Amino acid sequence: MFHYFILGDLKVYNRIEKHSPGSILTHANDLVEILREERQRKPDAKCVLLKTDQGCDWSMKSLMTFYYLGRIWKDENLDVLVQTSYKPGHSRFNMVEHLWARLSAALAGVTLPAPDEDAEEEADKEACNFSLKCLDQHWNRLPGVQSKAVDCFDVPSPYDDKDEIYRILTKAGVREHQKDEKCKEVREFLEFLAEHSIVRHNQMEFYKHPVAAASMCNHCRENPPTSDVFYNLLEMSGGHIASPTPSDLMPGHYMTALDIYGSNSVGYRNPETVNAQLSGIDEELKKKNLIHQLCPYCTHFELRSKTAAERHMILFHMSERQRGIREKRKAKSQQQGWVCTTCKYQASSKHALSRHKKESGHVRVYKKRKTNDVDSDEMEMDEQ
């Protein structure tokens, strides 16, 4: 994982994939460590911008990325956390790609000690740690570079629940989400994040509510935002980070943030203009099949596929999903006539109608018919 400050050092975290594979959980742990170190130097820093690639570890399509970045935003009491990335095909502009050249040049002609493939696990981890320390020695010689080896024996901290969260977000069914306490806890946290986030194409934003609306949320009321200047800029753009806007003065280029927020002609001071622009962008993405739909309940949450939309409703809006299912069943029952003929009860399904008749006694009872005082094998049905 790379961490680069324009006015600070480049921080590199090295780990052995075999013993501590990289994932959004390991990146989140590294990021928490970096944030805590930097906030000792700048305690008032409450806004974080992450420029990441579109690899599987940082994929904005993954709910794991959304969940762990949301935990960092809440646990570290940040005002704003934004994850953004370049569009596919533009990775050559990514600063991480540029920094690799400098690090690779420092290893020209260097041979690092390789661990024995037949060694036992503990001995193999010790050999891997020695290789990482050798790598640190070469990279730490570079000015402005801080290389850190992640020990193969270390336990992930502060987050160490990737397997359980992955199961809940991707595999747990509706019944488990309704009964399991851990699933309910995760769902409640996702619902909380949905009220404080915006998920757009190649960009994810977590933010506290402005002071004027902080009374609606316990978290924002107890921890009000302190970044007044930044929140003033957000208010100019309708509460969103400004969308990329082509420059009229320099065709083929985009306007800078100073140009956007400092210009009245762009329309960013009018929230209606911003929302109209976002709607226009979403329509273009739908035409290109890059998104499936927008969540009708969230502030702005783009869903990439039908499967993602169904999973989103289970995790974020379970009550709305159940209400919609009941309404569909009721409409279907009205069409198919699942009605008790005795009390006119409107059932949601054929099975529900049968259960109602058994519980209420509105069932058909078979009685023997008597003919000339002799029992007949013929049966008749009477409905009570």
Encode pLDDT of 198-253 as tens digits: 888 788 889 888 766 655 688 888 888 887 777 777 766 666 676 666 777 888 77
The Cα–Cα gap between 174 and 187 comes to: 12
* Alpha carbons 198 and 46: distance in angstroms, whole number: 18
User: Does some domain include residue 330?
Assistant: no
Residues 304 and 367 occupy one common structural domain: no
83 lies in a domain? yes
**Residues 59 and 27 placed together within one structural domain of the fold:** yes
What is the CA angle 311-317-322, rounded to 5?
90
Q: Which two tokens stand for residue 356?
A: 């109602």
Given 320, 351, 366, which residue is the final one in a domain?
Answer: 320
Helix segments in 202-349, DSSP class H? 218-222, 228-236, 257-261, 271-287, 306-316, 318-336
pTM of the prediction?
0.77
266 and 378, same domain (yes or no): no
Mean pLDDT of 311-334: 81
Residue 383 in this model has a pLDDT that exceeds 60? no
| Claim to verify: residue 84 and residue 165 sit in the same structural domain | yes
Same domain? 369 vs 294: no
Parent domain of 374 = 336-383
Residue 34 included in any domain:
yes
383 against 219, higher pLDDT: 219
Per the model's pLDDT, the better-predicted residue between 241 and 384 turns out to be: 241
Domain count for the chain, please give it: 2
Whether residue 207 sits in one domain with residue 144: yes
* Of residues 126, 128, 150, 146, the one with CA closest to residue 137: 146
Domain end, chosen from 266, 295, 320, is at: 320
